[in-house]
Structure 1
């Protein structure tokens, strides 16, 4: 039996690189040799938990990790159409019938090979051109999350937008906003290196909220307006929360003008400090953004077209042979912006 290496949760805050059976496709399946896979904050959440609560009585069990893959087709089932060996593909982790890849299902993409169940082009898998590097293609899934957030915002070119959080989703949202023609996008964070990246990918201005007066800076950048009570507020039209901290939510509420919109795309940390009542002062519209109902493969051709801009989101490229170090990076606050694990021919040849 052929085997492969796969990453799953180990002890709390640790991974385990395990040897498991290499997948064999059924007639409607395909097998992808993974060439790059991003590490997501969701992976970190599972590592903090030490697995997933799927065992008896809710006990923790090991969970296969990885849901941001790019690779090439190496096997195709007899009933699969539109795919050929050698095609470079990205995968929809939510398209697996057995469960979300790397997020509770039995399959994980941080592996040398991945089974694509019910391989249907445009639903579970999409082909991308040879001109798009695998590491940038591995951004497809998080950029779909960012694209859905921007779609939910309904931003127009005349809008003035603030993005809180210069992680991959916030920066991805910034790129999509500018490609959408939005007039002015400000990115807010507390890490100077992330703010530098924000400017590099097209943000019109940045604010270091640890050292600058947010309200004063937004008023300077977006002009002055008022809330529903006539109190002065910055002229920002849309706030995007890609950070998930209660302080961010409250900052949007405190600064919102009459009729502003707040889009939440980050996983929110529970807190009694959130000022929901303050939303009345501006008739603030709260919009939730979850996943990518239609965007998962809508973004793929644009990712290829604008690959140089998206490539700036990747701070670290780490070989699969050093997977432990890759996950140590993402577990260390502030150590990395976006880590992509790469799989070279030497890694694949052993299977």
Structure 2
């Protein structure tokens, strides 16, 4: 079968590997769609996974956002049968995180689901859910954990920085949670249009607008701990991963506001702790999906038309190199999903 792994810096290699054979407790999935994530792009920039103190890299299988159908189950597997449509938990594989340094990658024609336990390593999805939408399950679990960490209430006013898949996913979950007002900020106009399409109440083009002033217009006027005027924004979500976002939140925050950081900041960056003191701001980190990986599955099925709007490009596996080129080009794509409809 064909499988994708990291190549030289900035490239992928499509290699031939043996089609896996499931053991008694495993299931074999035919991959029908797999999303490309910013983590995949990070591995491409490094040329693989760093190994040891010397900084050398080794190639790794890619893809941790697969959806597909079961073609074979081991004798000890219960709750699964051939023909079931499924999504997987990339962190549930004993051989390591799928597509993130583990032995397996979801950007392959077939994927072994090790220790296939429904609700733990795999979940069945309704036949009505397209595979490309189902492939959003993993990133939407990341976005859901972020919203859960925010503890947003219906009366809260929230701003999401970054209109990528995680920021837009958080926007969807916030609105489905009943949050009163959600604003999305980004420097690229096209994703802001998508933000409005998936339910954002307002958007801010932060490349040309004063974010703090616009938030005051949208959310009203509050004050920090010193009584200085600040936007009445309750929660700031950093889904962008740049220092200016964190510092904008710190300097704009009213007394008792919260900052939730879900984006990966690639290097240490200075932040204004004095501004944090003036607002008594709470900073919360959000990593992965400790419980959310299958918490989101049913709701994605219920609101599949909404989540489908997040996909900007569907690229066949036969053209997978182009799919990764799109994700490596800033501003070229919002969410790329590779489809496997042509496989035998």
TM-score with structure 2 setting the length: 0.99
Match of 2:13 among 11, 16, 22: 16
1:270 Cα shift?
A: 2.5
1:45 correspondence with 2:42: yes
After the TM superposition, which residues 150-165 of structure 1 pair with which residues of structure 2 at under 5 Å, given as runs?
150-165=147-162
CA distance in 2, matches of 1:272, 1:35: 40
What is the CA distance between 1:129 and its match in structure 2? 0.3
Instruction: Look up the SS of the partner of 1:21 in the other structure.
Output: coil
Task: Kindly indicate whether the alpha-carbon contact (under 8 Å) linking 1:53 and 1:59 is maintained by their aligned counterparts in 2.
Answer: yes
What do the CA deviations read for 1:230-273 (whole angstroms, capped 9, x no partner)?
A: 10000000000000100000000010000000000000133443
* Alpha-carbon separation, structure 1, partners of 2:263 and 2:53: 30
Question: Which of these residues, 248, 253, 260, is aligned with residue 250 of structure 2?
Answer: 253
Could you tell me how far apart the structure 2 residues matched to 1:52 and 1:213 are?
Answer: 39
CA distance in 1, matches of 2:265, 2:55: 23
Corresponding residue of 1:149? 146
Which of 333, 338, 341 lines up with 1:336 in the alignment? 333
1:315 and 2:312 matched: yes
Over the aligned positions, Cα root-mean-square deviation in angstroms equals 0.9
Unaligned segments of structure 1, at least 5 residues: none
Residue 39 (structure 2) pairs with residue 74 (structure 1): no
Q: Secondary structure at the match of 2:51?
A: coil
1:276 and 1:27 map into 2 onto residues whose CA distance is 54
2:61 matched to 1:64? yes
Aligned match of 1:137: 134
Alpha-carbon distance in structure 2 between the residues aligned to 1:38 and 1:193:
20
Q: Secondary structure at the match of 1:196?
A: helix
Shift of 1:292: 0.3
2:266 maps to: 269
Q: 1:272 to 1:93 in 2, by over 3 A?
A: closer
> 108, 111, 115: which is aligned to 2:108?
111
Partner-residue secondary structure (3-state), 2:315: strand
Output one character per residue of 1:195-244: Cα deviation in whole Å (capped at 9) or x when no partner: 00000000000000111111111001100000011100000000000001
Aligned structure 1 segments of 4 or more residues deviating by more than 4 angstroms:
55-58
Secondary structure, counterpart of 1:130 in structure 2:
coil
Quick check: 1:25–1:31 contact (8 Å CA) kept in 2? yes
> 1:56 and 1:36 mapped to 2: Cα distance?
36
Deviations 1:64-94 (A, max 9, x none): 0000000000010000000000000000000
Q: SS at the partner of 2:49?
A: coil
Task: Return the match for 1:221 from 218, 237, 253.
Answer: 218
Cα deviations across residues 123-149 of structure 1 (Å, max 9, x unaligned)? 000000000000000000000000000
Distance (Å, rounded) in 2 between the aligned partners of 1:233 and 1:247: 17
Secondary structure of the residue aligned to 1:126 is strand
